[in-house]
Amino acid sequence: MISPLYSAVSGINAAFKKQSASAHNVANSNTDGYKSLVASAQENENGGVKVTISKNTEPGAVYDNGYGKVAEYSNVNYARETVEQVSNKHLFAANVASLRTYEEMTESLIDILA
């Protein structure tokens, strides 16, 4: 059985990893040819959450760089990153609330048994 503590901590770590990937995308959005990172979460073998980071291979828009060469913009989508960051904020908050509830239940159980 997965402990509530492990589940909450695993979810918090997942939120941090997903937020880190999104922040990295926004920070590199003006770098020509940059391929954005995609963070996907799935259940791991212990019942917690595992985040896998991969590159988004979609091409960015192409433009003439003024030197007679064609260059490619990054493929970062600001709308997608905004939604991702808000979603990560809620993922983090939900797992912190779960952690607080676990702590309160443990304290109540100790008070009952003491």
Gap between the Cα atoms of 77 and 68, Å rounded: 27
Write down the pLDDT at residue 67: 81
Task: Mention every residue, 6+ apart, whose C-beta is less than 8 A from residue 89.
Answer: 15, 19
Instruction: In whole angstroms, give the CA distance from residue 69 to residue 63.
Output: 9
With the CA atoms of 67, 37, 58 and 64 taken in that order, what torsion angle do they form, in degrees rounded to the nearest 10?
Answer: -10
Q: What is the pTM of this model?
A: 0.85
pLDDT digits (tens, 9 = 90+) for 71-109: 999 999 999 999 999 999 999 999 999 999 989 998 999
Domain boundaries, the chain: 4-113
- Report d(CA 82, CA 96) in Å as an integer: 21
Q: What is the pLDDT at residue 16?
A: 97
Q: What is the pLDDT of residues 4-17, one digit of tens each?
A: 888 899 999 999 99
Average pLDDT over residues 38-60: 92
Q: How far is CA 97 from the centre of its chain?
A: 18
In one letter, which amino acid is 35? Answer: K
At which residue do the structure tokens 């912190």 appear? 96
Mean pLDDT of the chain: 92
Q: What per-residue confidence (pLDDT) applies to 18?
A: 97
* Spatial contact of 74 and 35, defined as CB atoms under 8 Å apart: yes
